[in-house]
């Protein structure tokens, strides 16, 4: 089985690549090759199968044809311009998130072998805000361009699945935390920052109040979801290729409690509050909670408790993040 | 006020143009110019204001720039590849319905004056089928490429409205009947044919059974909806630019009753039944009914009774259709 990860140099792309390299198999079948594709060629990682690391633009059909060669069985389409960046630069968001996804569709269609496509949509494709508990048939009324572009990407890949060009599973990811590295251009960057920065010994300001609720998941369960989406039987999905996976609803206050439980009061006290209207205006539209019954029925696994999310970051990413940031 | 109708040579485009020419005003303001744009330059019609008839492809930015000149206040975006045609030729549907709508977005955005855009989406963007009574917050799970492309067009124009590039109202039209002229490539073509063909003295076969329910509206109320959408205050819409207008749910049997009431038993007896799987498979996914409370609250007018729809065709279109078809 040959696999491609588009956006393979990013946070989740690298986590997934490491897991595939560790397993050497997907769904019980040996992996015969992995292609990591990103704007800049991703750094190689040790793997028990041939690895290709390619640089290119996902909106460039020629680059994509190289990234998705004949024989590709699974494409993870993670390449994206994220929320605040797509809001700040509409044209860039359209290019990567719309024209990029159109190019992915055509590259997969050109194979003629109906590859599985796992597409990372987002909670940001929903509106409804803090009060919402989004039902499984909840409607996507995006409050930002990134969310609109993700909803459009889903519709494109869903219809292409119906046509038999490919076989898509569109996972609407919660905010994945704890994200290693530096604060990024996602409007939800603070959700990770309020855990990560204190664990690095740094102070940080939370741009939303303590009672603000976010729909979150861990990188570990995200990777589990990716593997499940890549190998599940898609027949029970019918026309509806969108998955609201079982994340967890947590207030900022609860996240800080978990931080304190794992790392003590000193860590907790590194987080201040400084309201940021620009960030707030984007994230306030995102639903605080989802029903996620269908995804559970379809076998998507649950989250660990909050404290485990904090511990997982310490185990998996703290040292690398320190090194990366020269701390 | 300068107005452009994209798809201005089509069924609804011509009806709308004729109405604008008759009124000479829109929302109480004088019309200072009308541009009709279609693949082939539409035939001119008498009008009390300057009229331009342009031929071109809606997916061609240069052609669109000419069709939507500076000063344009309202754009009716009706240009489309319709349901069965978009299903038969995926690439053509994508080109016109997706890339065309993207080009409309960019042409309107380039004006810098936030024109009102009235976009004709469709009942075909919903799934749910015969049994459904779609609530106002019903989710669009399209069962065909045309419907997916319409849902995508809506998302594009909705987000562009939020960004302040334009000011869109996306009307999800029911099947408009009675359509004059010839049977066309819409999967719903039969809905008009079972009334029109008998009134022309011709026999026709209905591809679905008598108990099949369709969500319909008249050309007259469609034009009323267009005028309302072009002039309404869009503030109460908020982010949600999609309108499920107050159509009417009718079975084929009810439509034939109305035909008989107006044109007698002989007309009714011209309709036979011959199941057509290809047509059935597309239309069976479309909902038979909608709630449409929000549209009523927002001032979109109701349908006439069914018999009036039959009479309206006789008054407005029967002679022209006869002439057109050499009958
Ligand atoms: N991390 C989250 O909390 C979260 C939540 C919801 C959805 N998602 C989605 O999951 C996916 C992965 O997220 P992530 O956190 O790893 O993001 P990330 O930003 O770390 O990774 C995305 C990668 O896409 C690459 N990319 C951007 N433009 C590209 C282009 N034109 N061509 C090729 N590659 C390009 C970037 O270089 C980056 O490496 C994204 O699609 C994101 O929208 C993430
Ligand atoms: N009539 C209905 O029952 C109905 C129902 C739901 C939605 N709609 C939508 O309403 C709109 C108008 O419908 P109609 O019944 O008048 O359809 P129509 O086919 O009569 O008119 C559409 C027009 O678009 C033009 N067109 C197609 N491709 C084009 C291109 N590339 N560039 C420029 N013009 C192009 C066609 O030439 C045609 O004149 C369409 O968008 C349709 O999808 C119609």
- CATH number for position B272: 3.90.25.10
Q: Active-site residue numbers of B?
A: 146
Q: Are residues A76 and A39 in the same domain?
A: yes
Which pLDDT belongs to residue A55? 98
Taking the CA of residue B42 and the nearest CA in chain A, the distance in Å comes to 32
A217 at interface of B, judged by CB pairs closer than 8 A: no
Within-domain flag for B58: yes
Q: Is B156 on the interface with A (CB under 8 A)?
A: yes
**Residue B181 domain flag:** no
Q: What is the pLDDT of residue B317?
A: 96
- E-assigned strands of A39-115? 51-55, 72-77
Same-domain status, B224 and B202: no
Residues B166 and B313 in one domain: no
B273 and B205 in contact (C-beta within 8 Å)?
A: yes
Q: Is residue B297 part of a domain?
A: no
8-state DSSP, A124: G
Do B84 and B205 sit in the same domain of this protein? Answer: no
Q: How far is B77 from chain A (nearest CA, A)?
A: 19
- Shared domain for A19 and A65, answered yes or no, is yes
Which tokens is B9 given?
A: 């040579």
Whether A170 and A271 map to the same domain: the answer is no
Q: In the predicted model, what is the mean pLDDT of residues B57-62?
A: 98
Residue B49 belongs to a domain: yes
pLDDT at A131: 86
Residue B37: its pLDDT value, please? 99
pLDDT digits (tens, 9 = 90+) for A49-88: 999 999 999 999 999 999 999 999 999 999 999 988 999 9
Residues A286-312 have pLDDT tens digits of 999 999 999 999 999 999 999 999 999
Task: Kindly indicate the confidence band of residue A235, based on its pLDDT and cuts at 50, 70 and 90.
Answer: very high
Between the alpha carbon of residue B250 and those of residues A58, A308, B122, B217, the distances in Å are 47, 57, 17, 10
pLDDT in tens, A122-170: 999 999 888 889 999 999 999 999 999 999 999 999 999 999 999 999 9
A277 in the same domain as A224: no
Tell me, what's the pLDDT at B33?
98
Ligand 2 binding pocket (C-beta < 6 A) is B 7, 9-13, 38-39, 57-59, 78-82, 96, 100, 120, 122, 173, 175-176, 188
Reported confidence tier of residue A323, pLDDT bands at 50, 70, 90: very high
Q: Does A36 touch chain B (CB under 8 A)?
A: no
Whether residue A163 and residue B90 make contact (CB cut-off 8 A), yes or no, is yes
Alpha-carbon gap, residue A98 to B98, rounded angstroms: 11
Structure-block tokens of residue B264: 């007698």
Does residue A176's CB lie within 6 angstroms of at least one atom of ligand 1? Answer: yes
Chain B partners of A155 at a C-beta cutoff of 8 Å?
A: 142, 148, 151-152, 155
pLDDT (mean) for A231-250:
98
Read off the pLDDT band of B66 (50, 70, 90): very high
How does pLDDT run across B121-135, given as a tens digit for each residue?
Answer: 999 999 988 888 999
Q: How far is the CA of B248 from the centre of ligand 2 (A)?
A: 21
Beta carbons within 8 Å of B136's beta carbon, 6+ residues apart: B244, B291, B292, B293, B294, B295
pLDDT the model gives residue A282: 87
What is the pLDDT of chain A when averaged over all its residues? 96
Over residues A88-92, the mean pLDDT reads 97
Amino acid B161: pLDDT: 98
- Identify whether B179 is part of a domain: no
Query: Are both B207 and B235 inside the same structural domain?
Result: no
CA triple B168-B171-B176, angle to 5 deg? 145
Q: Which of A90, A98, A155 has the CB atom closest to B163's CB atom? A: A90
- What is the number of domains present in chain B? 2
CB contact A151 to B (< 8 Å): yes
Please tell me whether residues A119 and A210 are part of one structural domain: no
Banded model confidence at residue B245, pLDDT cuts 50, 70, 90: very high
d(CA B310, CA A188): 56
Kindly determine whether residue B141 and residue A240, on different chains, have CB atoms separated by under 8 Å: yes
Based on the fold, state whether residues B203 and B316 are members of the same structural domain: yes
Domain-located, residue A299: no
Mark whether A12 and A84 lie in a shared domain. yes
pLDDT at A185 over 90: no
Peptide bond into B178 cis (omega under 30): yes
pLDDT the model gives residue B128? 84
What pLDDT is stored for residue B185 in this prediction?
Answer: 79
Note whether A205 and A164 are same-domain residues. no
User: What is the rounded end-to-end Cα distance, in angstroms, of chain B?
Assistant: 40
Q: What is the pTM of this model?
A: 0.97
The closest CB to that of B155, out of A138, A152, A158, belongs to A152
**A281 and chain B: CB distance < 8 Å anywhere?**
no
State mean pLDDT over A191-210: 97
Residue A186 pLDDT: 85
pLDDT attached to residue B108: 98
- Asked if A139 and B140 come within 8 Å (Cβ–Cβ), the reply is yes
Q: Is B112 a domain residue?
A: yes
CATH of the domain at A140: 3.40.50.720
Domain assignment present for residue A295? The answer is no
Q: Is A191 in the pocket of ligand 1 (CB under 6 A)?
A: no
User: Minimal Cα–Cα distance from A97 to chain B, Å?
Assistant: 12
What is the rounded distance in angstroms from the CA atom of residue B261 to the CA atom of residue B266? 11
Show the domain range for A90.
Answer: 2-126+133-174+218-243
Query: How far, in Å, CA of B187 to CA of B83, rounded?
Result: 6
Structure tokens at A217: 């998941």
Contacts of B195 (CB under 8 A, 6+ apart): B177, B178, B255, B258, B259, B309, B310, B313
Question: Which chain A residues touch B139 with a CB distance below 8 Å?
Answer: 137-140
- Interface touch B139/A139, C-beta < 8 Å: yes
């Amino acid at each position: 089985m040959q696999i491609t990860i588009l956006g393979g140099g990013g946070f989740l792309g690298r986590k997934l690549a490491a897991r595939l390299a560790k397993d050497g198999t997907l769904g019980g079948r040996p992996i015969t090759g992995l292609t990591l594709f990103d704007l800049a060629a991703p750094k190689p990682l040790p793997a028990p199968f041939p690895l290709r690391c390619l640089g290119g633009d996902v909106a460039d059909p020629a680059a994509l044809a190289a990234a998705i060669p004949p024989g590709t069985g699974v494409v993870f389409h993670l390449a994206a311009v994220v929320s605040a960046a797509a809001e700040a630069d509409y044209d860039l968001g359209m290019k990567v998130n719309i024209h990029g996804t159109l190019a992915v569709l055509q590259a997969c269609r050109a194979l003629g072998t109906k590859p599985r496509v796992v597409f990372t949509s987002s909670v940001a494709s929903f509106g409804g805000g803090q009060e919402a508990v989004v039902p499984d048939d909840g409607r996507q009324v995006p409050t930002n361009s990134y969310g609109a572009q993700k909803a459009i990407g889903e519709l494109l890949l869903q219809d292409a699945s119906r046509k038999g060009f490919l076989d898509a599973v569109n996972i609407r990811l919660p905010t994945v935390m704890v994200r290693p590295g530096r604060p990024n251009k996602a409007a939800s960057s603070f959700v990770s920052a309020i855990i990560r920065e204190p664990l690095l010994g740094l102070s940080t300001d939370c741009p939303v109040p303590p009672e603000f609720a976010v729909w979150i998941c861990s990188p570990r369960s995200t990777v589990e979801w990716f593997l499940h989406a890549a190998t599940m039987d898609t027949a029970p999905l019918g026309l509806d290729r969108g998955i609201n996976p079982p994340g967890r609803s947590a207030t900022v206050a609860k996240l800080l409690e978990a931080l304190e439980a794992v790392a003590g009061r000193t860590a907790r006290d590194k987080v201040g509050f400084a309201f940021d209207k620009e960030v707030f205006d984007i994230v306030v539209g995102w639903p605080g909670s989802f029903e996620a019954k269908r995804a559970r029925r379809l076998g998507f696994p649950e989250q660990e408790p909050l404290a485990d999310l904090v511990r997982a970051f310490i185990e998996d990413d703290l040292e690398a993040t320190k090194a990366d940031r020269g701390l």
